Amino acid sequence: MATWNSRGLRGSTLEDLVNRTNEQYAEKKLALIQKIPTPITPVRMDKENRHITLAYFEQKSTVDYIGAVQGIPVCFDAKECCVDTFPLSNVHSHQVSFMEAFEQQGGIAFFLIFFSHADRFYYLPFRDLMVFWKRMENGGRKSFRREELKEEFYLPKQSGFLVPYLEGIQQDLKMRD
């Protein structure tokens, strides 16, 4: 079973950037997105500093973020990758099931992927993830390469937001029409 301190602070920089972007979007009344905390059960505490030093995850979390953008329900998960190949083992089947049900209810589900070595953010629509996911389930690659991704979903740096994922949602909506 995974423990809180065994995972370290993976993705915490990305999480900070997304959280700040969410604050910017809320301030400008463009979106209201909240981080979903992962429920944990503390096992060991540093009583002197009142810090949890060891904990177990109580249950599988679904997605990192959920909310609404101009009346459209959205949910997404943020992942960090330090190479050009993204392992699908970073995505869990319970997340896929939740996102699929979310989209069936009229919402938009996606992954934000930060390719840290290239300093590039990518908006991966759920339907595109499913192409890679089904390929894996059918015995194909258990990952996808950056070169397989659609250029139009790389997020621009010049928009004034740290992680301008609303640009990705806008592009996603255009392609759904």
DSSP string, 47-104: TTTTEEEEEEESS----SEEEEETTEEEEEEEEEESSSEEEGGGS-HHHHHHHHHHHH
Residue 50 domain-assigned (yes or no): no
Map residue 161 onto helix, strand or coil: coil
pLDDT higher than threshold 50 for residue 154: yes
Rounded average pLDDT over 84-101: 94
The closest alpha carbon to 152, from 168, 174, 129, belongs to: 168
DSSP 8-state symbol, 154: B
Query: Hey, CA dihedral for 67, 137, 142, 90, is it positive or negative?
Result: positive
pLDDT at position 7 = 41
How far apart CA 35 and CA 41 sit, in angstroms, is 19
For the segment 52-72, what is each residue's pLDDT rounded down to a tens digit?
676 555 556 689 999 999 999
Share of the chain above pLDDT 90, in %: 69
Q: Which helix (H) or strand (E) holds 85?
A: strand 85-87
Question: Where residue 86 sits, what CATH number does that domain have?
Answer: 3.40.1350.10
Position 70 scores a pLDDT of: 94
Q: In this structure, is residue 25 part of a structural domain?
A: yes
- Res 2: pLDDT: 40
User: With 70 as the cut, is the pLDDT of residue 15 above it?
Assistant: yes
When divided into structural domains, the chain yields a total of: 1
Give how far Cα 33 sits from Cα of 12, 20, 72, 104, 157, Å.
17, 11, 11, 20, 20
User: What SS3 class is residue 168?
Assistant: helix
pLDDT at 3: 39
Residue that wins the pLDDT comparison between 147 and 6: 147
67 lies in some domain: yes
Residue 159 resides in a domain: yes
Q: Which residues pair with 115 in a beta bridge?
A: 81, 120
pLDDT digits (tens, 9 = 90+) for 93-103: 999 999 999 99
Compute the average pLDDT of residues 105-109: 97
- 154, part of any domain: yes
The verdict on residue 1 lying in a domain is: no
pLDDT of residue 12: 62
Give the pLDDT confidence score for residue 6 in this predicted structure: 36
Closest CA to 14 of 165, 147, 145: 165
Domain span at residue 159 reads: 12-37+62-176
Residue 98, helix vs strand vs coil? helix
Predicted confidence band at 122 (pLDDT cuts at 50, 70, 90)?
A: very high
Q: Which residues are annotated as a binding site for Mg(2+)?
A: 62, 64, 77, 95
Taking residue 12's Cβ as centre, other Cβ atoms within 10 Å add up to 10
Asked whether residue 142 is assigned to any structural domain, the reply reads yes
pLDDT for 157 equals: 83
CB-facing half-sphere around the CA of 146: CA atoms within 13 A: 16
pLDDT at site 177: 72
138 within domain boundaries: yes
